[in-house]
């Protein structure tokens, strides 16, 4: 591994980031401005942006992993991709998901890039994962919902497989939302369940099952307008056994928003949808104990905290 020299550590870029550094390979002029967080919570996406100081520097391959100090396996990993923008200088990013079960402690961001000249750029940056409490709740299911939750049919298995195939797909050309913030999918702020809730499903037959809630439930009446949280492409619009009438939007490489239990939807697969555009009406279809909207965000297949992008953009506009 080539030796890396820290040139400067006070290059502040106003973003979500708490650090911003410039690193250079010791034996040539290749250097990057690297921005990212010093701390994160379970369920956060960890966003790292890299900008070559020399515009002609190109990254042909790269990844960033998160690894807990002393651990033998990586906690999470994401590929580095080029951001499609009108900026004169090329910019790259990696958005690495942390699930809600990530343990607090000392971690590191491990950056590894292959450049156009086959040079290797590597750097390790410390990251602290902070503690976060999650709500615990018991959900009482009637016989109808118990039957849905315990359904072992081939149809339901195929629906799960199809959705997972979408959510684990990363298309680096799918960069639709850019530097937008999210907006909430409904105008009501009433929440009946939260991201990361630790759940016990109490079945009508006396049995139970533990689970985790991957999104946010908004307690809204049937027929409440549901809006796209950000610009994106419809990659699923169909009825499913568990989630009822369902819409899934693709926003960025490997990033999707999901809208469950709809009473109806007004979009179809392949449609391009703008942030704030109505996509359907809330309902109580599928596994639901009452009318509500389940809103979920997946990154590389991992459910992350939907609130994260409400107050800050995914990527810097600089």
Q: How do residues 284-317 score in pLDDT, each as one tens digit?
A: 999 999 999 999 999 999 999 999 999 888 776 5
Residue 54: its pLDDT value, please?
A: 75
Instruction: Say if residues 184 and 310 touch (Cβ distance below 8 Å).
Output: yes
Residue 56 confidence (pLDDT): 76
pLDDT in tens, 199-208: 999 999 999 9
CATH 2.60.40.1930 residue ranges for the chain: 4-129
Q: What are phi and psi of 213, to 5 degrees?
A: -90, 125
Structural domain 136-309, CATH architecture: Distorted Sandwich (2.70)
pLDDT at position 6 over 80: no
pLDDT of residue 23: 62
pTM of the model: 0.90
Query: Tell me, what's the pLDDT at 122?
Result: 86
CATH 2.70.70.10 domain range(s) in the chain: 136-309
Q: CA 150, CA 283: separation in Å to the nearest integer? A: 22
1-5, 49-53, 147-151 — which one is most confidently predicted on average?
147-151
C-alpha closest to that of 176 among 115, 255, 72 = 255
CATH, range 4-129: 2.60.40.1930
Q: What confidence score (pLDDT) does residue 317 get?
A: 56
């Amino acid at each position: 591994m080539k030796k890396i020299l820290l040139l400067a550590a006070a290059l502040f870029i106003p973003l979500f980031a708490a650090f911003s550094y410039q690193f250079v390979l010791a034996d040539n002029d290749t250097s990057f401005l690297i921005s990212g967080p010093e701390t994160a919570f379970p369920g956060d996406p960890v966003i790292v942006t890299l900008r070559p100081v020399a515009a002609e520097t190109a990254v042909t391959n790269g990844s960033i992993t998160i690894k807990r100090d002393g651990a033998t396996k990586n906690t999470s990993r994401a590929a580095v991709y080029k951001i499609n923008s009108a900026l004169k200088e090329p910019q790259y990013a990696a958005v690495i998901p942390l699930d809600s079960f990530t343990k607090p402690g000392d971690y590191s961001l491990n950056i590894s890039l292959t450049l156009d000249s086959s040079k290797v750029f590597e750097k390790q940056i410390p990251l602290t994962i902070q503690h976060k409490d999650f709500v615990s709740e018991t959900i009482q299911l009637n016989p109808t919902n118990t039957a849905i939750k315990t359904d072992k049919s081939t149809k339901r298995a195929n629906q799960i497989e199809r959705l997972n195939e979408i959510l684990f797909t990363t298309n680096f050309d799918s960069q639709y939302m850019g530097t937008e913030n999210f907006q909430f999918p409904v105008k009501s702020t009433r929440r009946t369940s939260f991201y990361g809730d630790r759940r016990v499903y109490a079945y009508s037959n006396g049995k139970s099952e533990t689970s985790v809630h991957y999104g946010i439930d908004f307690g809204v009446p049937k027929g409440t307008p549901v809006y796209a949280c950000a610009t994106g492409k419809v990659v699923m619009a169909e009825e499913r056994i568990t989630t009822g009438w369902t819409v899934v939007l693709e926003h960025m490489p490997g990033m999707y928003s999901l809208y469950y239990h709809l009473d109806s939807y007004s979009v179809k697969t392949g449609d391009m949808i703008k942030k704030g555009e109505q996509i359907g009406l809330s309902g109580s279809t599928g596994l639901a104990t009452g009318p509500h909207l389940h809103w979920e965000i997946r990154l590389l297949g991992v459910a992350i905290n939907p609130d994260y992008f409400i107050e800050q953009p995914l990527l810097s506009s600089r």
